[in-house]
A and B are shown apart, each in its own frame.
Chain A
Amino acid sequence: DQQVKQNSPSLSVQEGRISILNCDYTNSMFDYFLWYKKYPAEGPTFLISISSIKDKNEDGRFTVFLNKSAKHLSLHIVPSQPGDSAVYFCAASFSGAGSYQLTFGKGTKLSVIP
C-alpha cells in the first residue's frame, strides 16, 4: 500500500513558466513533509520541507503548499529554469518513534524546455 503518491510520472514545462508538482498521502499520522530533487547518477538532495502546523513554506523560487484536509501537498517552482530538470520526490515523516523513516513517493520527472 503506497502511503505517498505522486500520480504524475513526468511533467514538461517551458522555461520561465511555473512548474507544479503534486503529492498525495494517505497516512494521517504524517506531520512533516519534504521535497527532494534527484539528478541521474546522484543521490537525492533536500530541497524544501514543511511542518503540518503550516500551510505554506517558501524558499526563493520554491514554495510548498500543504492542504491537510485533502492530504495533499504541492511544490511550485517559479520561474522554472532548465537546471531544474530532474526527478522530484515527495517524502513524509511523523513525530515520535520512527520519525527518521522517510516514506517516499515514486517521483515526478520534470523537464524544463528552453
Chain B
Amino acid sequence: NAGVMQNPRHLVRRRGQEARLRCSPMKGHSHVYWYRQLPEEGLKFMVYLQKENIIDESGMPKERFSAEFPKEGPSILRIQQVVRGDSAAYFCASSPAQSSYEQYFGPGTRLTVT
C-alpha cells in the first residue's frame, strides 16, 4: 500500500521560471494539504484541498502560488516566476475523509531557485 507520493524529489529552477510540484495522496484519502518548510523553520500550512475544491488557501501567498486537486490525477502546487525566497522543502499530506488530524506526509520536494 503506497504512501503519499511526491515528485519530483528535487527541483532546480532559475529565477522567473515556473515550478510544478505533484502529490498523489494515499489510496482512499480524498483530502490533501500542502506545507512549506523554510530552512531552520517548522512546517507552515499553505493550502487544503479536496477533489476539485480548494477548501482553505489562507496560508498560501496571494501572488504566484496556486494549487489544484483535479478529479483525476495528482494534486499540483504551482509556483510562477519563482524567486530565491521560494527555495524550501514542500510537503504534501493526505488524510481520510473522517479525520483531519491523521495527516500522512509525503517525502517532500526540495525546491532550489538559482
Q: Which positions in A face B, CB cutoff 8 Å?
A: 4, 6, 32, 34, 36, 41-46, 49, 89, 91, 93, 98-107
* Smallest beta-carbon distance B50→chain A, Å: 10
Q: How many residues of B contact A (CB 8 A)?
A: 28
Residues in B neighbouring A104, C-beta threshold 8 A:
35, 42-44
Report the Cα distance A99→B56, complex, angstroms.
11
- Contact of B45 (CB < 8 Å), options: A6, A32, A43, A102: A102
A101 contacts B59, C-beta separation under 8 Å? yes
Excluding A102-B35, A105-B42, 12 further A-B contacts by CB distance (< 8 Å) are A36-B105, A42-B107, A44-B43, A91-B43, A99-B100, A99-B101, A100-B95, A100-B100, A100-B103, A102-B43, A104-B35, A104-B44
* Smallest beta-carbon distance B96→chain A, Å: 12
Given contacts A4-B42, A101-B45, A106-B41, contact A44 B105 (CB under 8 A): yes
- Contact of B91 (CB < 8 Å), options: A44, A99, A107: A44
26 contacts between A and B (CB under 8 A): A41-B107, A42-B107, A42-B108, A43-B4, A43-B6, A43-B93, A43-B105, A43-B108, A44-B43, A44-B91, A45-B105, A46-B103, A89-B42, A89-B43, A93-B101, A99-B100, A100-B31, A100-B48, A100-B56, A101-B48, A101-B56, A101-B59, A102-B45, A104-B43, A104-B44, A106-B40
Q: What is the count of residue pairs linking A and B with beta-carbon distances less than 8 angstroms? A: 60
A43 contacts B106, C-beta separation under 8 Å? yes
Is B65 among interface residues, defined by CB-CB distance under 8 A?
no
Report the Cα distance A49→B100, complex, angstroms.
13
Report the Cα distance A99→B106, complex, angstroms.
20
Residues in A neighbouring B91, C-beta threshold 8 A:
43-44
* Smallest beta-carbon distance A21→chain B, Å: 14
CB closest residue in chain A, given B31: A100
Is B18 among interface residues, defined by CB-CB distance under 8 A?
no
Given contacts A100-B56, A101-B59, contact A46 B104 (CB under 8 A): yes
Given contacts A100-B48, A100-B56, A103-B45, contact A43 B107 (CB under 8 A): yes
